Amino acid sequence: MILDAHWHFPTDIRVGAGCLSFIAEYCQALKITKVLLVTDKQLAAFPMVKQVKAICAASNIFCDVFSQVESDPTDNDIALGVDTVNKGSFDGIIALGGGASLDAAKAIALSAKQTLSLWEMEDVEDNWTHIQAEKILPLIAIPTTAGTGSEVGRAAVITDTQGAHHCKRILFHPQLIADRVLLDPLLTIGLPANITAATGMDALSHLLEAYCVAGYHPMAEGIAVEGIKRIKRFLPIVFHQGQNVEARTQMLVASCMGATAFQRGLGAMHALAHPLGALYHKHHGLLNAILMPYVLRLNRTAIEDKMTYLTLCLGFDDPSFEHFLSWILALRKTLGIPQTLAEIGIESHDAKLVGKMAACDSAAAGNPIQLHADQYAALFIDAVKGVAFEGEC
């Protein structure tokens, strides 16, 4: 019997080629007259930024750009963004870019008008209840990669630079989610194949971990299965045919579905990827892609029945855990994903630290098998050195 369930699902989303043109209309609907566009340093020079500014200017909406965002956004980036908002009297935020830009924009929108310090809003215990929701700035999110799904998330992952070891912390509030989302596939055309692969595998990691988490959430479970089906069909296409607008659209949708589904929770892939990203500054999606088969194998006893059902939904002839794992390995090979963490320059000498950080990460609570720090350290070492898999391609 289901005794209690509490579900939150996403926001206003518009999907389609050219939907960026709605940006001014959305600013007006949210009563934004002076908007700060938050993006990263590289994307700031792209034509799409000028396009957003031009659309806003045509409707008499002032738009300026803040691009001091690192690939792993830090508390220092957020402090600079908050200072920019308050000095310029901005009354809304546009988030444009990949997960880093979106998370930074969300953190700035959350914290700019609060009396709390940044880490007083960390997703710990009931911290979120002390946030003044009415002071969160209106936010429009426009992803330019199909991976994190941060545009429909209620949290922002930010690196704390103050400790001895930089670590990623999560800011959270139920109303932190973007007020409007634009999924325009034309903004992802031209994304390099390796970034397309890493971000696509990030979306898959969200969908898989959300699907495997214990607990009653059939909507999230169904969305996860449907999202994985889209990844299976369209990720190889966008990797090989980057100009394919339909496939790009479907990958944006799958990414959005991943972040919708993982409101149910995440697991050991993310529990390890977060500290590895903070310590080694490697791409988050690439880390999840490398870790994926190692975590799946470790969780096998707890997820085997779910994998059997999932393989049936995906149309595989052999409905088994081994066949699903073989598909993951083959997909990684197709996308040029390295087999081990060592191949991207990560060695195992920090295993104890990584294990401790992973065990404390908020994503660890959702893993189907609860792992302690030594088990995370061992899992990390396996992923550094590489291990043989059944049905390895």
Taking only the tens place, the pLDDT of each residue in 38-87 is: 999 999 999 999 999 999 999 999 999 999 998 889 999 999 999 999 99
pLDDT tens for the chain, residues 1 to 393 = 445 655 656 889 999 999 999 999 999 999 999 999 999 999 999 999 999 999 999 999 999 999 999 888 999 999 999 999 999 999 999 999 999 999 999 999 999 999 999 999 999 899 999 999 999 999 999 999 999 999 999 999 999 998 656 788 899 999 999 999 999 999 999 899 999 999 999 999 999 999 999 888 899 999 999 999 999 999 999 999 999 999 999 999 999 999 999 988 999 999 999 999 989 999 999 999 999 999 999 999 999 999 999 999 999 999 999 999 999 999 999 999 999 999 999 999 999 999 999 999 989 999 999 999 999 999 999 999 998 775 454
Determine the pLDDT at residue 80: 98
How far apart CA 25 and CA 31 sit, in angstroms, is 10
Tell me the two tokens of residue 266: 């995440």
Give CA torsion, residues 97, 103, 106, 112, to 10 deg.
Answer: -110
Side-chain half-sphere exposure of 134, counting CA atoms within 13 A: 0
Strands 167-172 and 155-160: antiparallel
Q: What Cα–Cα distance (Å) separates residue 42 from each residue in 45, 77, 98?
A: 6, 15, 11
Q: Which of 108, 82, 80 is nearest to 94 (CA)?
A: 108
Q: Which domains occur in the chain, in start order? A: 12-187 (3.40.50.1970), 193-385 (1.20.1090.10)
Q: What phi, psi does 16 have (nearest 5°)? A: 145, 155
**Helix segments in 32-166, DSSP class H:** 47-58, 75-88, 99-111
User: Rounded to an integer, what distance in angstroms lies between the CA atom of residue 286 and that of residue 358?
Assistant: 17
pTM for the full model? 0.93
Model pLDDT, residue 393: 43
The CA-CA-CA angle for residues 177, 259, 180, to 5°, reads: 35
pLDDT digits (tens, 9 = 90+) for 27-45: 999 999 999 999 999 999 9
Q: Using alpha carbons, select from 75, 186, 66 the residue that is nearest to residue 122.
A: 75
What type of residue sits at position 282?
Answer: K
What does DSSP assign to residue 263?
Answer: G
CB distance 98 to 145 below 8 Å: yes
Q: Is 115 helix (H, G, I), strand (E, B) or coil?
A: coil
Instruction: Provide the token pair at 2.
Output: 């289901």
User: What is the C-alpha separation between 321 and 129, in angstroms, rounded?
Assistant: 41
